[in-house]
Amino acid sequence: MVYMPEHPRAKNSGAVFEHIVVAEKKIGRPIYMNEVVHHINHVKDDNRPENLEVMERGAHLSNHFNEPIKLQKENARLKALLKANGIDYT
């Protein structure tokens, strides 16, 4: 959290989530109310600019909704690769 009581998204304590401040600096404008900051690597305290992406809320939800499907496909691909290299993974 960053102390910025004048920020539109500041809590009653004056604190703003650091990822919001970093993302706004990265894109050069305030984040709109219909937008969220997505942590690309899913590590919530990794607030490096290159790990942050501003997305519309709907796109963000869709992104997370599709993650289990993406993971299943990646797991199947990796299991096939292991099997092709003579490693039995069950």
Q: What is the pLDDT of residue 21?
A: 98
Burial of residue 88 (number of CB atoms within 10 Å: 0-12, 13-18, 19+) = exposed
Query: Looking at the predicted structure, is the pLDDT value of residue 12 above 80?
Result: yes
Q: Is residue 23's pLDDT more than 80? A: yes
What average pLDDT does this structure show over 73-80? 80
Nearest CA to 17 among 28, 33, 32, 4? 4
Task: Determine phi and psi for 16, rounding to 5 degrees.
Answer: -125, 140
Q: What is the reported pLDDT for 80? A: 84
Return the domain boundaries, the chain: 2-84
pTM value is 0.67
pLDDT band at 90 (very low <50, low <70, confident <90, very high): low
Contact assessment for residue 14 and residue 4, using Cβ atoms and an 8 Å cutoff:
yes
